[in-house]
Structure 1
Amino acid sequence: MSKAIHVMAGYQGLFEGLLLKNEASVSINGNWVNSSSVTYMVGNNPAPLDDLSFVHKLIVSNSNQVVFEKCWLDRK
């Protein structure tokens, strides 16, 4: 199980990097996404857990359709 999680995280990281460098191809409902915009947000976590006091959110979208979305907690 642990190996499968690490492999999935590796593929996700690879996809994220390619997507943010405009080197990934993505289709939504069979239509290729030719352009996208990125929104990055960071804020305070109202209920910190283990000193994870910041919330980060990354959204890649095209014409009000989300292509990729990620949210994570961090200390900084």
Structure 2
Amino acid sequence: MSDDPLFMLVALACAAVLIILMLGIGSFGVGGKTAHKYSNKLMRWRIGAQAVAIALILLFVWLRGGNG
């Protein structure tokens, strides 16, 4: 499965969601102007990246015959 390009794309999308989430949480922790400027924007980016990741996961399951 690790040589499947779609699986690698799904893994990359999930990693991107995790990185954006950690950056957003980190900016909440900093507080002040940094949090005001970046936190909400990063959480919006996370939602978009998460939607892409979910769509890719569903596509992967559908294309690989995930119905048993």
What interval of TM-score do these two structures reach, taking the shorter chain for normalisation?
0.3 to 0.5
TM-score computed with the length of structure 1 as normaliser: 0.33
Flag the structure with higher helix content: 2
Flag the structure with higher strand content: 1
TM-score computed with the length of structure 2 as normaliser: 0.36
